[in-house]
Structure 1
């Protein structure tokens, strides 16, 4: 065990009130009354795809056989469509009502890398109506459907994805370039085809608009990567036990579904997989995710509800969601809301989860133009280790870039402007996060709201975080931090507050600090700290950019 980890654990053991903190902590919310999720139920009748002509030689395209088995099963009242052990090559598969697609152990459902097998269809991408290639597995307006078992579903994503050079080793990059495809003019990105490269140079080329012809979409077809699984407007859905891997874009995408259960699945993508999200729950109601593992190239477990005006017009929040007993390894965020959250999100409960090596732990992101309200978010019992960026992040300046800059990449801070509040102004409020342990992060807590509308009503209780930097609150109000224990390497300052209002800091414990508080901006008020040993800091406070001493009160 690393010496730093031992020291961190020792610090936690000595921190006041920690012995029974998780079991005895009293919070202003309750996990006792969780949402209910309706279950699926299937007949025992079994339809083996072999009887419909399927062959497990890895060469025969079994699209027709598998789809015929699904149709036959559904038409006869439902049951199980069985994919036996073996390698089954296929094109797109459409699920039908009352069908449980079941993969036996050692069954691999391998989707073809022949792009001609995927027709262009009107679909949805990042919250907007878009033309896309047909998803390998899909269903629309179906009820009581499932994918279960012990096998692997592979989306042949490597054939579709562009790859950034900075995300590969030198040998990997050389091998990729030697395999074919094209390299961008700046030699930083590899593209699998000319159509992919052409599409990448256009702004939102897949958006469905009257001026675009079928010929245009065909000219960029390869760029319009499908999500591996898309379920649209379906009710009573079960995904259980199966490994979903190597998706061209997002891995699992339930859209406008109701009563969805995701249990013991493994969503897996290379860490360099652009847009390689694990699961994106978009505008869904009554959702349970449990016992699952995510190791992907983008956000791990993500909540969405449409983008900008299109999302607000749809007006379907993601609501009544339970996420528990799950693990996220590599991902841009462990649990994420946004940035496409224009329809809103509410009544979401996340607990008993672990994030190992994610870029950010708890990640809540949006930007001007989205609109939408995200509220009533409850998170507890989260363990994190080796978080590359922030352990907990709220950011209303999302800029559609990787959360952690690549080596040598320079980014400017966003320009702060005071703009009018409109329907395009996003709202983050009423978050409750408790019982978090994080062994290693770049920054413990980062909250950045908009000057015209602060992030508000956030309660953070019983946090134990080892990080390089401490707490940074910008444009935030009604924020309560209680029993926060920090081991911080660079505490200058330990707590930075810019235009904060009604900030209550209680029982903040820390190892040491050069500067305890930096207060900046001319719109600070009612910043109160109690139970904090200011004697461990070389300097208590400084006030810059219009801040005054009367905005901060340090009590014993």
Structure 2
């Protein structure tokens, strides 16, 4: 296969020269040759957006940094899936659609220079709108079918300042990401949509802790995906599985399924491995094993709500170590973030009729998990009264809550009501067929397990050692509320 060094096409690695044209020529030559490698040698290479190609590898040498311009006008409206909606948004920095056998590998760095985008978002949050989006009117027109009807509370939606992913691939087959570091993304870091047969190995995903919407890796309506030996240190969810949002996601109807995650380390972030909240096309057939979550808000997190439909089914999680997390296990069908709180469906605690909008969480097995110095709740399991979380098993699980009396804890997850817990055990509400076997939970206060509206539970060897004589399991009662 052909090999095309970008320097041969006039690229200059001085960090200031715009290499957009030289890199585009290298990819064009690779396409004409029927495929091959576009090679980026050591140096700092400034560029505008890059369009990837079939049967082509983008390879970054150790010491190479591919740095994208932060001029918003360089990223015109492009078809995307943005927070679950099929629409148009700013062009992703690295972008590919309808490709086969596309790879990005090497020991170099791909840097999105996201700070300008983050600052613009913060200005929007503060009520400033003028002069931020150069394509506002065009995006409003292109997204007219959603702009006036989508039930979105995102700050960007009214202005259509839809920030791009650093890397987005749509409808691609045989995808390989290996070795590189992807950092400082304007929005989500790496976003794979409708892709099949994906391998991600040894990749580092980095965003500063305060990055708005700075997810590490989002696997969105993809199939046959393996993620292994990766390192995450980001400002939002580390690794997230999604499948479209609400009516638009149900219209598309493409699941995320047959996904394996192994041997990964997650630092900080809102969640280690997260499923949802965009579950409308279904997330199913997921295996997570041999991972570490260090300082994430939640460890294992599944979230959805009454608007989504679809659901999360047939998940196996094993051999996980966590430390200093807020809540090690959070499974929530009543997730409130980003929903219209004026819709009574989103707020009523009573059972409502089951429809295509009703999400289903079923068949979750979590085993061989150890968590130390957890802060809020050992686990937070919260279903819907009309659709309880069904067939949930925790086996050989040890969770030790912090003993620090000054630790105030927080919300273990965002449900209908504001529930704050600190050093408490597992709280289960609206759950059916719950199995707890060889579970040890050391609380700072309260029982190891509190059950409310739980049916068909099977509890074997649930213990506390630190607070000998305290009740391990309590039925009825509620968590603290503010």
Is the pair's TM-score, using the shorter chain for normalization, greater than 0.5? yes
Structure 1 unaligned blocks of 5 or more = 1-42, 166-180, 186-190, 403-412, 514-534, 546-556
Aligned pair in 2 of structure 1 residues 207, 488: CA closer, same or farther (>3 Å)?
Answer: farther
Alignment counterpart, residue 477 of structure 1, candidates 415, 429, 432: 432
After superposition, give the CA deviation of every residue in 1:225-280 in whole Å (9 maximum; x if it has no partner).
10111100000011111000000000000100001111100000011111100000
Give 2:254's aligned residue.
316
Question: Structure 1-normalised TM-score?
Answer: 0.75
CA shift at 1:209, angstroms? 1.6
Contact 2:449 2:472 survives alignment (8 Å): no
Give 1:376's aligned residue.
314
How do 1:49-128 and structure 2 match up within 5 A?
49-128=6-85
In 1, the alpha carbon distance for the partners of 2:303 and 2:31 equals: 41
Aligned pair in 2 of structure 1 residues 477, 91: CA closer, same or farther (>3 Å)?
Answer: same
How do 1:341-420 and structure 2 match up within 5 A?
341-388=279-326, 390-400=327-337, 415-420=348-353
In 2, the alpha carbon distance for the partners of 1:57 and 1:537 equals: 66
Alignment counterpart, residue 425 of structure 1, candidates 337, 349, 358: 358
Mapped pair 1:489 → 2:431: no
Contact 1:162 1:192 survives alignment (8 Å): no
Alignment counterpart, residue 465 of structure 1, candidates 399, 403, 408: 399
After superposition, give the CA deviation of every residue in 1:160-211 in whole Å (9 maximum; x if it has no partner).
014899xxxxxxxxxxxxxxx68826xxxxx797426998xxxx97981259
Give 1:435's aligned residue.
368
Give 1:147's aligned residue.
104
Moved runs in structure 1, 4+ residues, more than 3 A? 162-165, 191-194, 196-199, 204-207, 210-213, 217-221, 538-545
Equivalent residues, number: 442
Structure 2 unaligned blocks of 5 or more = 149-155, 340-345, 402-422
Give 1:184's aligned residue.
126
Aligned pair in 2 of structure 1 residues 465, 263: CA closer, same or farther (>3 Å)?
Answer: same
Aligned pair in 2 of structure 1 residues 108, 198: CA closer, same or farther (>3 Å)?
Answer: closer
Aligned pair in 2 of structure 1 residues 239, 192: CA closer, same or farther (>3 Å)?
Answer: farther
After superposition, give the CA deviation of every residue in 1:498-530 in whole Å (9 maximum; x if it has no partner).
1110111110110255xxxxxxxxxxxxxxxxx
Mapped pair 1:130 → 2:93: no
Aligned pair in 2 of structure 1 residues 164, 48: CA closer, same or farther (>3 Å)?
Answer: closer
RMSD: 2.8
Contact 1:367 1:397 survives alignment (8 Å): yes
After superposition, give the CA deviation of every residue in 1:474-501 in whole Å (9 maximum; x if it has no partner).
000001010001111112x332111110
Question: Structure 2-normalised TM-score?
Answer: 0.86
From the CA coordinates, give the structure whose radius of gyration is larger.
1
In 1, the alpha carbon distance for the partners of 2:100 and 2:220 equals: 18
Contact 1:164 1:272 survives alignment (8 Å): no
Question: SS state of the match for residue 160, structure 1?
Answer: helix
Q: After the TM superposition, which of the residue ranges 126-135 and 477-486 deviates more from structure 2?
A: 126-135
Alignment counterpart, residue 195 of structure 1, candidates 122, 132, 140: 132
Mapped pair 1:445 → 2:379: yes
Mapped pair 1:501 → 2:455: yes
Contact 1:131 1:206 survives alignment (8 Å): no
Contact 1:163 1:274 survives alignment (8 Å): no
In 1, the alpha carbon distance for the partners of 2:264 and 2:476 equals: 43
In 1, the alpha carbon distance for the partners of 2:438 and 2:384 equals: 27
CA shift at 1:313, angstroms? 1.5
